[in-house]
Amino acid sequence: MDFPEATVSAVAFTPPLPSYTEAIQSPQSLTPPPTYGEAGVPPLQLNNTTSPYPILSIPTEVTAVHQTQQVFAQPSPHQVNPPQLLGGRLGDAPTVIICPHCHHQITTSVLYKPGCAAWGMCCLLTLLGLICGCCLIPFCIQTFQDVHHSCPDCKRFLGTYVR
């Protein structure tokens, strides 16, 4: 395979780069880089109308801004009393509270009914293959059932503890 001869006049000759050890040992030039004027960069213009990037300065004095606002509260036309609980929130056991309906201090009567936790566990046990009655076990365990609280005096519903 023959290669055509290259002409020397078309290609500029650059000397080879020095090796690493030669570059370290040779003294570096101590000439500083050119200034902006020497490099051909136009001077910065401080007038904001011609410069697209205005120079922002830090303010010399700071003024405090005070805003006041008056808030008026109007009384509610009807009084709403939330249920007063003595023993805390309604939980999974009977709780001592003041009934919001008859205003007596009572211990709530509870009724356990299957909720989302019981049905979810039943579906999970069915998917695991426990079809022949074992999937119905969560409906017999109180920890999987929702708790419905009611007042033993006035028999009114007070709330539900959902699992």
Q: Which residue has the tokens 């801004």?
A: 65
Backbone angles phi, psi at 146, to 5 degrees: -75, 150
pLDDT attached to residue 85 = 47
Higher pLDDT, 37 or 150: 150
pLDDT tens-digit readout, 58-74? 777 777 777 787 777 77
What six digits make up the tokens of 51?
A: 């410069």
The residue whose two tokens read 């040992």 is: 25
Q: Does 3 have pLDDT greater than 70?
A: no
Structure tokens at 98: 């003041």
> What does the block give as tokens for 52?
């697209």
Q: What is the pLDDT of residues 107-159, one digit of tens each?
A: 889 999 998 989 998 898 888 887 788 888 888 888 889 999 999 989 888 88
Structure tokens at 86: 């003595």
pLDDT averaged over every residue in the chain? 77
pTM of the shown model: 0.45
